[in-house]
């Protein structure tokens, strides 16, 4: 058989790096190699393939013997499907005001999932039992959406990380009120790398009922999974995945990516490296007079405040986003492929612009 011919041309400069999002990074070579292995021949569609079957064993090795993974296309889809599976039509989800499901998903949980979000302001992106109680009431009030789920993000949208004890306290509190606990884990690997514990320690072992497991931000081409940890009361997830347009026909190509990340230590290597680069960036930024780091740097994000005009000039050299443009707050993200040279070059550019 002749080697495949391609007329594809590169339309970008692979040496250009930015700090806007870990989604900007490419695909880890080991994940690309796994996709090639899964290619060729015919496999049963819609999840009845050998790769999706094997993924179940891999997921159970990380999250316990009752865990079941439902691969989906993306993180928003994972969150919508997961939250639909644990709410009634009259149900509501308590979350931090800064949560991705509230701020960055275009209203999908409410518009597509039909779920009311009950938000709580937090100082650092993290919920506590006391903060949850600001919205955890009115179960018998037909005029109010019924709180049925607490959703937390690990690591949070502000780059902070819950400890296992903090998650355990949330789960005990939520369960005492008859609510389920969902974890948005698009950066779950980064949290595990920071805590230096297995992912199960702060999910299944802490009492979490289900989670959205990220892959894209940690080196995958695309693909996440809803992972059910406690099957009690969670039904019809495969039907919800289909009606939410998250059922991949060629699911083997989602599953094999998650398998490549999770079967050995690639997930952890990638996350540790991204976290280390964020720490290096934070250390460099702290030495720049006039720049303030806003939150503890506990994963792969650095939030800072600096003069607006400096950020605008710096954005012409490196891509990154304003977090709160009026306040001058910005977010810098590191990825699995961020290098020390990338960080050092960015810090040098920041110093130049601050000195102008």
Residues near 322 by beta carbon (within 8 Å), at least 6 away in sequence: 311, 328, 329, 330, 331
pLDDT band at residue 240, thresholds of 50, 70 and 90? very high
Residues near 111 by beta carbon (within 8 Å), at least 6 away in sequence: none
Whether the model clears a pTM of 0.85, i.e. scores above it, the answer is: yes
Mean pLDDT of the chain, nearest integer: 96
Q: What does each C-alpha distance from 30 to 23, 225, 262, 293 come to in angstroms?
A: 17, 19, 12, 34
pLDDT band at residue 7, thresholds of 50, 70 and 90? confident
What gap in Å lies between CA 274 and CA 287, rounded to an integer? Answer: 21
Res 47: pLDDT: 97
What is the dihedral sign for C-alpha 157, 162, 166, 171?
positive
Percentage with pLDDT > 70 across the chain: 99
Res 337: pLDDT: 97
Interval 224-240 mean pLDDT: 94
Interval 22-40 mean pLDDT: 97
pLDDT band at residue 110, thresholds of 50, 70 and 90? very high
Q: What is the DSSP letter of 212?
A: E
CB 191 within 8 A of CB 40: no
What gap in Å lies between CA 131 and CA 125, rounded to an integer? Answer: 11
**Paired strand residues for 120:** 96
Interval 159-184 mean pLDDT: 98
Provide the token pair at 175. Answer: 């369960």
**Paired strand residues for 211:** 183, 227
What gap in Å lies between CA 12 and CA 201, rounded to an integer? Answer: 41
Percentage with pLDDT > 90 across the chain: 95
In sequence order, what E strands does 177-284 have? 180-185, 210-213, 224-228
Q: Distance of alpha carbon 157 from its chain centroid, rounded?
A: 9
In the chain, the largest separation of any two C-alpha atoms, in whole Å, equals 69
What gap in Å lies between CA 264 and CA 267, rounded to an integer? Answer: 8
Res 5: pLDDT: 73
pLDDT band at residue 2, thresholds of 50, 70 and 90? low
What gap in Å lies between CA 188 and CA 210, rounded to an integer? Answer: 13
For the CA atoms of 342, 345, 347, 351, the dihedral, rounded to the nearest 10 degrees, stands at -160
Interval 234-260 mean pLDDT: 96
pLDDT band at residue 274, thresholds of 50, 70 and 90? very high
Residue range 188-209, pLDDT digits in tens: 999 999 999 999 999 999 999 9
Q: Of 160, 348, 195, nearest to 268 (Cα)?
A: 195
Spell out a b/e string for 84-116, using b for 16 or more CB atoms within 10 Å of the CB, else e.
Answer: bbbbeeebbbbbbebbbbbeebeebbbebbebb
Residue 3 has pLDDT above 90, yes or no: no
Pairing of strands 301-305, 329-333: antiparallel
Residue range 293-331, pLDDT digits in tens: 999 999 999 999 999 999 999 999 999 999 999 999 999
Res 235: pLDDT: 82
Question: Phi and psi dihedrals of 259, rounded to 5?
Answer: -65, -45
Res 1: pLDDT: 53
């Amino acid at each position: 058989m002749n080697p495949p011919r391609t007329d594809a041309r590169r339309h970008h400069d692979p040496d250009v790096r930015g700090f806007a999002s870990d989604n900007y990074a490419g695909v880890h070579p080991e994940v690309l190699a796994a996709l090639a292995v899964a290619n060729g021949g015919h496999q049963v569609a819609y999840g009845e393939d050998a790769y999706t079957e094997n993924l179940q064993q891999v997921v159970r090795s990380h999250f316990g013997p009752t865990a079941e993974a439902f691969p989906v296309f993306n993180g928003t889809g994972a969150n919508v499907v997961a939250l639909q599976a644990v709410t009634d039509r009259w149900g509501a989800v308590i979350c931090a005001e800064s949560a991705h499901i509230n701020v960055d998903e275009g209203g999908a949980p409410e518009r597509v999932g039909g779920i009311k979000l009950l938000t709580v302001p937090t100082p650092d992106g993290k919920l506590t039992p006391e903060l949850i109680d600001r919205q955890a009431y009115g179960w018998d009030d037909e005029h109010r959406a019924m709180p049925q789920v607490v959703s937390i993000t690990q690591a949070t949208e502000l780059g902070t990380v819950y400890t296992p004890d903090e998650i355990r306290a949330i789960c005990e509190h939520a369960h005492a009120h008859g609510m389920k606990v969902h974890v948005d884990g698009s950066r779950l690997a980064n949290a595990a790398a920071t805590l230096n514990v297995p992912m199960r320690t702060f999910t299944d072992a802490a009492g979490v009922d289900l989670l959205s497991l990220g892959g894209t931000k940690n080196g995958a081409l695309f693909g996440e999974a809803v992972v059910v940890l406690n099957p009690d009361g969670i039904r019809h997830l495969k039907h919800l995945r289909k009606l939410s347009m998250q059922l991949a026909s060629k699911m083997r190509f989602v599953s094999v990516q998650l398998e490549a990340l999770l079967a050995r230590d690639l997930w952890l290597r990638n996350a540790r490296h991204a976290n280390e680069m964020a720490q290096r960036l934070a250390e460099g930024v702290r030495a720049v007079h006039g720049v303030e780091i806003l939150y503890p740097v506990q994963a792969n994000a650095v939030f800072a405040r600096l003069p607006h005009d400096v950020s605008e000039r710096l954005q012409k050299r490196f891509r990154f986003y304003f977090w709160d443009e009026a306040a001058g707050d910005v977010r810098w993200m590191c990825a699995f492929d961020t290098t020390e040279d990338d960080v050092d070059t960015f810090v040098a550019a920041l110093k130049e612009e601050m000195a102008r």
